Amino acid sequence: MLRDITIGQYYPADSVIHRLDPRTKIVGTMLYILSLFLVREFPGFIVVITAFAGVWILSHVPFTYMLRGLRPILFILFITAGFNVFLTKGTVLWQWWIFTVTKEGLLRGAFMAIRLILLILGTSMMTYTTTPNQLTDGLEKLMKPLKVIHFPVHEIAMMMSIALRFIPILTEEATRIRKAQMARGADMESGGIIRRAKALVPVFIPLLVAAFHRAFDLAMAMEARCYHGGDGRTKMKPLRYHARDRFAYAYLLCFFATVILLRVWLKI
Amino acid sequence: MKPVVTRQLVHDYVTRDEEGNPSETKRALDHVDITVGEGRFVAVLGANGSGKSTLAKHLNALLLPTDGSVLVCDMDTADDQYLWEIRKSAGMVFQNPDNQIVASVVEEDVGFGPENLGVPTEEILTRVDASLRAVGMQKYRESSPNKLSGGQKQRVAIAGVLAMEPKCILLDEPTAMLDPIGRREVLETVRRLNREKGITVILITHYMEEVTEADEVIVMRHGRVAMQGTPREVFSRVEELRELRLEVPQVTELAYELSRRGVPFTGAILTPQEFVDAYLSLKPETDAENGGAGAETVSAEVGSERNESVETGSAGKPVRMQDEQPILSLRNVDYVYGAGTAFEKKALEHVNLDIFRGEYIGLIGHTGSGKSTLIQLFNGLEKPTSGTVCYEGVDIFSEKYDRRKLRSNVGLVFQYPDHQLFETTVRLDVAYGPKNQGLSGAELEERVEWALRLAGVAEELWQSAPLELSGGQKRRVAIAGVLAMKPKVLVLDEPTAGLDPCGRDEILSEVERICRETGMTVVLVSHRMEDVARFADRLIVMNDGHILQDAPPKEVFRHREELTAVGLEVPQVTAVLQMLRERGRKVPADIVTTAEAVRALM
């Protein structure tokens, strides 16, 4: 179960999308998210899906792999869709006890579900094709202006990249701890919410201790390799825009313009 | 210029109470004087807690002296202005491969050091290239560290240090968490760098076999230098080393034991080849040597290192009936990880296995051979992709089978005790298992005490916090935590990993005693051949998801070539005797312990 979390995981492949400058991908993802919220009717999604599909085909990330990223949010997905289905007023299709399903509700639920799915797919596309380090490089560079107001841009970028690197390691560790306690007869699968939460204590404590150990070790290893913050640091791979990035920006602009035009003129 | 000089180095660890006043002082280094010359390969040995890691941290200015001084390339570590220059000159590789890799791509991690030093981009790229090539990892440039083996990760860490162009590399137990293949990879890399690039190496370890090629060995004890000299000088003092909770390589021990019995070996023997050469010249063929020579196999009277009670114990074991039901039985088991994804991997293929009551089984194989998956099938933590697993003849994955109950019958102790210890006291922690079984009150207390005694946890530790114990004690508490469920089968996954030689022997004897006293079936997973050879009555060798060998140790170790082909080694004494046979000596080929070898060669 824990192993299935693939958000924030890099999928190594050699594609145009992988080679894009991370800044391009971050800006692109932001425009993409914005466009998802601009779309008001189903037909609008066609534009978004088409644009996304183009990127996906170029990225060489297997479809099954993309879908796996959705699994952890299934719960949120159902809740969101459910709320919309049951709480929207309109033409009643079906009614039972306090539950009322309306035509508008169904449409609204489906709409929200699609929006959420596209949101996750789009953001995971960025993390699949960008290594955490590139991602933080990109963010660091994009946010550099904030340094003027003493915003710790470099530190935050570093923290993020380390968090991303250790997610899979801690996930695996959690699985192992869980198994070690199950081997001692722990019951993780039955009982009510309180019992289950209690059953997690023996997993949570060793995990926390292990995480602290790792953090301590890593801090020492970084110091031993002369890390002393962002000042005076050079880059092994400084970010430079290439021709492909200009194409990407053009593609993005066309896409975003289409979404806005549709919204303004056709109200969808 | 000497890469490293310490003068009367003292280090105190000070524990502070809640108000920040010092409450306890522990001296970790006590007036240490060492000098390491340029281009030398120096090994620092010592039991856990002897101060060797503290020493390493001083050489990298991660710690500063309480008293005395440390000079790295003539720079005083206490002087702030040299800090980065020192860390650049003496790069450090740590024990845990995962906790020192910063980036998610190999090349970016190797570039981390130079980036911090402000090296220009172009040069970083050349340095990363050269460093990866020097450790033989250029093929993995773009890989994620998570997909690498332990040995490969450590090579990446070494490359990361190399990229800072150090004069000296400090390695703090770099192989403690690796399997034999990984250990070999790392050591070969380090030796090559020392020989070819003239980089000074300081290797901290408690594996003796790793230091035989060092120029100099420093042995630490209680924060002091206890011995110093060439490996040959140090290893000739076998008794003293034993007192320091260390051991010598098995051949060295064999030569030492033989010389005590009148075979005139001069100086310490460090490698099997040396032993064979020395032995052949000391004992010409015509001699009436080889007391047991002529015998093809060692007969029962030769005996083994097991003490007498064990002998009678195993002799008294009822002969297995042909129709006896195995306690655990696996039929046609396949296990596939990540089926249907890009990372699909067959961990087990077509495994058939029967385990009988009272057996002591050694399970060997390197990382990725499928042994960890296999033991998780025994108690139903993992479900085979196909095939059946039966406990006492019943399929454990049949409907309504109580797998929680199974887990108390087949107790599994995982490798790292830190993964299971969570309570505030040892007592409470050990009680977790039996409480899950439904025990309470006096019965529970009784069970906990029984388990703690059986696992050899001293009574004064019962109320202490498990996380504050030493490595060996934690391991014992972890074992007690599983014993407390009174399992019929006890499975231990590398219970000795990370322990010093003495701690390792203590745990193994403890397990042996448990097996003897309770008649429990024991499955011991290990990648140390010497360990399993000594205690197990049956060995299962795993390779690539298959069972390669399943026979008594003596049988298994006859196939030396087959084992080396898959990256496993036979015990050094077995290798020595087999090499003597190849040179025409009539000595048995199935010797597995030092004591046996001594008797065969006298």
Q: Give tens-digit pLDDT for B288-326.
A: 444 444 444 444 444 444 433 333 334 334 455 556 889
Asked if residue B202 lies in contact with residue B214, where contact means CB atoms within 8 angstroms, the answer is no
Full-prediction pTM beyond 0.80? Answer: yes
A190 and chain B: CB distance < 8 Å anywhere?
no
The confidence score (pLDDT) of residue B169 equals 95
The confidence score (pLDDT) of residue B297 equals 45
pLDDT at A252 > cutoff 80: yes
Composition of chain B by helix, strand, coil, percent to 5: 40, 20, 35
Interchain CB distance below 8 Å, B108 and A162: no
**Chain B residues in contact with A234 (beta carbon < 8 A):** 114-115, 118-121, 124
Interchain CB distance below 8 Å, A226 and B88: yes
Confidence class for position B23, pLDDT limits 50, 70, 90: confident
Higher pLDDT, A127 or B43: B43
Confidence class for position A253, pLDDT limits 50, 70, 90: very high
Instruction: Domain count for chain A, please give it.
Output: 1
Specify the DSSP element, H or E, that contains B93.
strand B90-93
**Chain A residues in contact with B421 (beta carbon < 8 A):** 206
Sign of the torsion formed by the C-alpha atoms of A148, A154, A159 and A161: positive
Please report where in the chains the tokens 């801090």 appear, as a residue: A219
Beta bridge pairs of residue B203? B43, B171
Residue B260 CB neighbour total at 10 angstroms: 11
The confidence score (pLDDT) of residue B340 equals 64
In the three-class reduction of DSSP (H, G, I as helix; E, B as strand; rest coil), residue A66 is classed as helix
**Chain B residues in contact with A226 (beta carbon < 8 A):** 84, 87-88, 113, 116-117, 164
**Chain A residues in contact with B142 (beta carbon < 8 A):** 12
**Chain A residues in contact with B160 (beta carbon < 8 A):** 225
The confidence score (pLDDT) of residue B487 equals 94
Q: Is the ipTM of this complex over 0.90?
A: no
The confidence score (pLDDT) of residue B292 equals 45
Instruction: Tell me how far apart the alpha carbons of residues A182 and B433 are, in angstroms, rounded to a whole number.
Output: 9
Q: Which residue of B has its CA nearest to A201?
A: B422
Q: Which residue of B has its CA nearest to A65?
A: B341
Sign of the torsion formed by the C-alpha atoms of B44, B46, B48 and B54: negative
Interchain CB distance below 8 Å, B118 and A217: no
The residue type of A188 is M
pLDDT at B468 > cutoff 80: yes
Beta bridge pairs of residue B489? B410, B521
Q: Percentage of chain A surpassing pLDDT 90?
A: 39
A214 and chain B: CB distance < 8 Å anywhere?
yes
Question: Using CB atoms, which residue from B84, B121, B407 is nearest to A185?
Answer: B407
Q: Please provide the average confidence, as pLDDT, over all residues in chain A.
A: 86
Instruction: Tell me how far apart the alpha carbons of residues B157 and B148 are, in angstroms, rounded to a whole number.
Output: 12
Beta bridge pairs of residue B363? B525, B540
B481 and chain A: CB distance < 8 Å anywhere?
yes
Query: pLDDT by residue (tens digit) across B114-129?
Result: 999 999 999 999 999 9
Interchain CB distance below 8 Å, B104 and A161: yes
The confidence score (pLDDT) of residue B343 equals 64
Asked if residue B488 lies in contact with residue B410, where contact means CB atoms within 8 angstroms, the answer is yes
Interchain CB distance below 8 Å, B437 and A185: yes
Instruction: Tell me how far apart the alpha carbons of residues B540 and A94 are, in angstroms, rounded to a whole number.
Output: 63
Query: pLDDT by residue (tens digit) across B402-416?
Result: 888 999 999 999 989
Interchain CB distance below 8 Å, B420 and A187: no
Q: Please provide the average confidence, as pLDDT, over all residues in chain B.
A: 87
pLDDT at B474 > cutoff 60: yes
Sign of the torsion formed by the C-alpha atoms of B417, B423, B425 and B426: negative
The confidence score (pLDDT) of residue B342 equals 58
Confidence class for position A178, pLDDT limits 50, 70, 90: very high
Higher pLDDT, A10 or B243: B243
pLDDT at A174 > cutoff 90: yes
Interchain CB distance below 8 Å, A225 and B482: no
Residue B259 CB neighbour total at 10 angstroms: 18
CB half-sphere exposure, A12, CA atoms < 13 A: 12
Question: Using CB atoms, which residue from A180, A217, A235 is nearest to B115?
Answer: A235
Interchain CB distance below 8 Å, B119 and A205: no
Question: Could you say which residues from 174 to 193 on chain B have a Cβ atom under 8 Å away from some Cβ of chain A?
Answer: none
| Cα A23 to Cα A126, A151, A229, A243, B80, distances in angstroms | 11, 19, 22, 14, 38
Q: Which residue of A has its CA nearest to B381?
A: A179
The confidence score (pLDDT) of residue A209 equals 93
pLDDT at A3 > cutoff 80: no
The confidence score (pLDDT) of residue B314 equals 41
Interchain CB distance below 8 Å, B104 and A210: no
Interchain CB distance below 8 Å, B102 and A222: yes
Confidence class for position B101, pLDDT limits 50, 70, 90: very high
Quote the domain boundaries for residue A155: 2-265
Query: pLDDT by residue (tens digit) across B322-372?
Result: 568 899 999 999 999 877 665 678 899 999 999 999 899 999 988 888 898
Query: pLDDT by residue (tens digit) across B175-226?
Result: 988 888 888 899 999 999 999 999 999 999 988 888 888 999 999 999 999 9
Asked if residue B132 lies in contact with residue B157, where contact means CB atoms within 8 angstroms, the answer is no
| Cα B390 to Cα B349, B360, B521, distances in angstroms | 17, 19, 16
Question: Using CB atoms, which residue from A62, A133, A169 is nearest to B342?
Answer: A62
Please report where in the chains the tokens 């597995």 appear, as a residue: B592
Asked if residue A104 lies in contact with residue A89, where contact means CB atoms within 8 angstroms, the answer is yes
Query: pLDDT by residue (tens digit) across B508-534?
Result: 998 988 888 888 999 999 888 888 888
What is the layout of strands, in order, in the sheet containing B224-229? B90-93, B168-172, B200-205, B41-45, B216-221, B224-229
The confidence score (pLDDT) of residue B320 equals 54
Instruction: Tell me how far apart the alpha carbons of residues A129 and A108 are, in angstroms, rounded to a whole number.
Output: 32
Instruction: Tell me how far apart the alpha carbons of residues B56 and B51 are, in angstroms, rounded to a whole number.
Output: 9
Question: Could you say which residues from 19 to 48 on chain A have a Cβ atom under 8 Å away from some Cβ of chain B?
Answer: none
Choose the weakest-confidence range: A212-216, B296-300, B467-471, B526-530. Answer: B296-300
Query: pLDDT by residue (tens digit) across B127-175?
Result: 999 999 999 999 999 888 888 889 999 999 999 999 999 999 999 999 9
The confidence score (pLDDT) of residue B38 equals 93
